[in-house]
Amino acid sequence: MTQFVIQPLPAGEVDAGAPTAVRRTAEGGEPCRRCLRRASAGEPLLLLGYDPFVVRSPYAGSGPVFVHERCGDDGTGVEQVRGSVLSVRAYDQDAMLLDAEVMPGEALSDRAAELLDGSAAFLHVHFAGPGCFAFRVDPV
């Protein structure tokens, strides 16, 4: 089974100075895309658009993400996927969509390995409801 690694912010750091970026005070539970931890109530956040593609693709485009204004220690992403419904999109090496599935977060690890064992070059994981980009998954 293919081993994989989770990549937060695969296209590089967010543009905190973007004109559409807004400051928010966390209600608690917002998923930070940089450190992969959930925010605690009261933490300062930025909500802004982010395009996770690193190559040209008709599937590219900016979607909403949260980041802490100042992150602490990095998380693993596990706490963010547990209990979440995810949209997992599998792409080939030219960033063309091969497959898309909605699944519970608990199924991600096994299904990601299966998709990467097949023809997928990488995966993009989104939170299914709001559509926020979560992270990229690459084979090791």
At 106, list the tokens.
Answer: 């608990």
Stretch that binds Zn ion, among 10-18, 67-75, 85-93, 116-124 (CB under 5 A): 67-75
User: By CB under 5 A, what part of segment 3-32 binds Zn ion?
Assistant: 32
97 near Zn ion, rule: CB under 5 A: no
Applying CB under 5 A, among 68, 89, 124, 136 the residue interacting with Zn ion is 68
Provide the minimum distance between the beta carbon of 33 and Zn ion in the complex, in angstroms, as a whole number. Answer: 8
Q: Cα(65)–Cα(33) distance, rounded to whole angstroms?
A: 7
Catalogue the E-assigned strands of the chain: 4-7, 22-25, 44-50, 63-68, 85-91, 97-104, 122-127, 133-139
Positions that interact with Zn ion (CB under 5 A) = 32, 34-35, 68, 71
